[in-house]
Amino acid sequence: MPSHVAVIMDGNGRWAKKRFLPRVAGHVKGVELVREMVRACLERGIQYLTLFAFSSENWRRPQEEVSLLMQLFVKALEQEVEKLDRNGVRLRVVGDLSRFEPRLQALIREADATTQDNTRLDLTIAANYGGRWDIMQAMNRLLANRAPGKEVIEEGDLDPYLSMNYAPEPDLFIRTGGEQRISNFLLWQLAYTELYFTDTLWPDFDTAEFDKAIASYQQRERRFGRTSEQVTGQANA
């Protein structure tokens, strides 16, 4: 089993369009699939689930859609946190939260506080998140805290400042909806992640689809630069 799964939940709008429904109907259905995904991770013993819910570029959408997405986010936090807490889920939201309205920011802080002692599943929602933003905020904080005289910055120095410093790098990345791009999701952290793209739209991505992604992951050989023989421990290693 992968320990950390990161997902770009894409295709809500097209799912709705196919049914002659407003785009927001796709987002509403999408929230249901989040519930199913969380349940699946709990059942499979997956420790970290990270979901891209709103990118720093999604503000460019029509104002009405942005506002409906924000309302959905508020509603989901109001309705789901208690149940998540009961199920041992630790919920965090990463991204530049300062742009959200105060009510939403308060709900995010509450969810964080309520669930902080839970350990069964680490659920992270990336909201107003951008991979470049993450690297830059980490770098700026690192520079501000740098010990006097430390001139050279090394890779590992950045880790404590990245917004997902509590999690290992994702093992499996899933993007639904048919596009094969990263769209400014976890750029630093995806360096050695196994990538899985599917045409299935997010509102159709059920547990069976998730198991297909896991099965694909389980067939991969993760070499991290080594040879296959080294990884499998055969002769010539």
Amino acid sitting at position 55 = S
The nearer residue to ligand IPE, 13 or 161, going by C-beta atoms, is 13
54 binds, among Mg ion, ligand IPE, none (CB under 5 to 8 A by kind): ligand IPE
* Under rule CB under 5 A, residue 10 binds Mg ion: yes
- Answer whether 44's CB lies under 8 Å from 207's CB: no
203 binds, among Mg ion, ligand IPE, none (CB under 5 to 8 A by kind): none
181 binds, among ligand IPE, Mg ion, none (CB under 5 to 8 A by kind): ligand IPE
16: Cβ–Cβ under 8 A, 6 or more apart, which residues? 22, 23, 24, 25, 26, 27, 29
* Under rule CB under 5 A, residue 203 binds Mg ion: no
Question: In this chain, which stretch among 3-11, 17-25, 114-122, 141-149 interacts with Mg ion, using CB under 5 A?
Answer: 3-11
Task: Pinpoint the alpha helices (H) of the chain.
Answer: 12-18, 23-44, 63-86, 102-114, 131-145, 155-158, 207-218, 228-232
Assess whether 10 carries a catalytic annotation: yes
195: Cβ–Cβ under 8 A, 6 or more apart, which residues? 173, 175
The nearer residue to ligand IPE, 8 or 161, going by C-beta atoms, is 8
The nearer residue to ligand IPE, 137 or 183, going by C-beta atoms, is 183
- In sequence order, the β-bridge partners of residue 195 are 173
State the residue for tokens 């196994």: 194
Assess whether 96 carries a catalytic annotation: no
* Under rule CB under 5 A, residue 55 binds Mg ion: no
Q: Which residues bind ligand IPE (CB under 6 A)?
A: 8-14, 52-55, 58, 69, 177, 179, 181, 183
162: Cβ–Cβ under 8 A, 6 or more apart, which residues? 134, 135, 138, 188, 189
Query: Where on the chain is the footprint of Mg ion (CB under 5 A)?
Result: 10
Q: Which residues are marked as active site? A: 10, 58
